[in-house]
Structure 1
Amino acid sequence: MLDEAVRTIRAPRGTALRARSWQTEAALRMLMNNLDPEVAERPEDLVVYGGIGKAARDWASFDR
């Protein structure tokens, strides 16, 4: 199991798709960008803004 405290999430750049379409890729990249340590308030806790907004309930939910 990964140690969640050391996970670093960054949105991919470029034209290569990780999802099935650009519509889903866009949503995935927005989520991942919000967890970027340069943008998020507390990315290790999935907090992305304002101290209470979360990108996912927990890391298991994020990984689904």
Structure 2
Amino acid sequence: MASTSQPRTVRAARGTQLSAKSWLTEAPLRMLMNNLDPEVAERPEDLVVYGGIGKAARNWDC
């Protein structure tokens, strides 16, 4: 099945303002987002993250 959606640009949060409900949930969110942030990621368009099975999702529709 082909994906029809375009890749999204994900930017990791910086600073002390929370995007999540607490720092306990903010930390893993920022780690994931850093893997997809074009400023620091190696292959963000392929949803590649490091650890586990190596993918943030199968495609952008997920």
So what's the TM-score if we normalise by structure 1? 0.67
Deviation at 1:12, TM superposition (A): 0.5
Higher relative contact order (CA 8 A, sep 6+): 2
Aligned-CA RMSD value: 2.1
SS of 2:49's equivalent in the other structure is strand
User: Larger Cα Rg: Structure 1 or Structure 2?
Assistant: 2
Runs (4 or more) in structure 1 with deviation over 6 Å come to none
More helix by share: 1
1:35·1:46 contact (CA, 8 Å) conserved in 2? Answer: yes
Cα 1:48–1:41 change in 2 (3 A) is: farther
1:4 corresponds in structure 2 to: 6
Equivalent residues, number: 56
**1:10-29, aligned counterparts within 5 Å?**
10-29=11-30
1:41·1:48 contact (CA, 8 Å) conserved in 2? Answer: no
Q: Which runs of 5+ in 2 are unaligned?
A: none
Q: Which runs of 5+ in 1 are unaligned?
A: none
- Of all paired residues, the percent bearing the same amino acid is 77
**1:1-64, aligned counterparts within 5 Å?**
3-5=5-7, 7-49=8-50, 53-61=54-62
